[in-house]
Structure 1
């Protein structure tokens, strides 16, 4: 649910908002909501940035991969009943990231789990589609 909020923007800022809205074909109010949301998240989790991609904007480490990629790996290690190792340190050693950065991604996930889980699910779905396409192509070429 949303509610109206009035903001007074300096003229130069309003002009930049309008220009960017036209560039990405979005309403200024929609863009403002996205930017405020992302700005508050980045302010709370220093080191997190938002980047564009084919599936939309997503949270990532300023100096590393997307948050969802780190969380996916943390979940994989956390689900291993045969391992006593700390998933944060395992992912850090696998990726070359500092444990603090892996922890930052975990903290972001703890606060915004739906956002990250949706991205993980989208990636799994895209991977499954690619496997199915490759199987169909292989069957067609071998027939």
Structure 2
């Protein structure tokens, strides 16, 4: 998707705040402003979604619930059986799950990347555990 540049004038206090935020997250100004704009858009269109920081970076989550990538992974494991997904996450309102899946569709590359990261780490942990078991046995 092509990215179009935007130019704006910011009050000094806001520029200082943004520069501090970008520095803390290791983002450049352009990358950070794009992230902020995408998060704003998400909050406007998917009010059940929030963003959390963690060891693997910033990620979209259902408010008070799991990360969007976790919901997308479970939906895949249920072979896109929406009723099965609703039952699996029975404590989360259906509308929130629907918003999470809509977000996953809009930002598919980001969400699938997190699913792949989780699966890769799982395989690495399983291999390490098996190696230890063989060594001990």
- The CA deviation at 1:94 is 2.1
Q: Which runs of 5+ in 2 are unaligned?
A: none
> Is it true that 1:126 corresponds to 2:127 in the alignment?
no
Bigger relative contact order, structure 1 or 2 (CA pairs below 8 A, ≥6 apart): 2
- The CA deviation at 1:128 is 0.5
TM-score, structure 2 length as denominator? 0.85
Q: Which residue of 2 is the match for residue 135 of structure 1?
A: 130
Structure 1 or 2, whichever has the larger Rg, is 1
Q: Which runs of 5+ in 1 are unaligned?
A: 80-86
Kindly tell me the number of residue pairs found equivalent between the two proteins: 135
- The CA deviation at 1:3 is 4.3
Q: Which residue of 2 is the match for residue 84 of structure 1?
A: none
> More displaced, 67-76 or 40-49?
40-49
- Structure 1 runs (4+) deviating above 4 angstroms are none
Report the RMSD for the aligned CA atoms in angstroms: 1.8
> Is it true that 1:89 corresponds to 2:83 in the alignment?
yes
Q: Which residue of 2 is the match for residue 64 of structure 1?
A: 65
TM-score, structure 1 length as denominator? 0.82
Q: Which residue of 1 is the match for residue 46 of structure 2?
A: 45
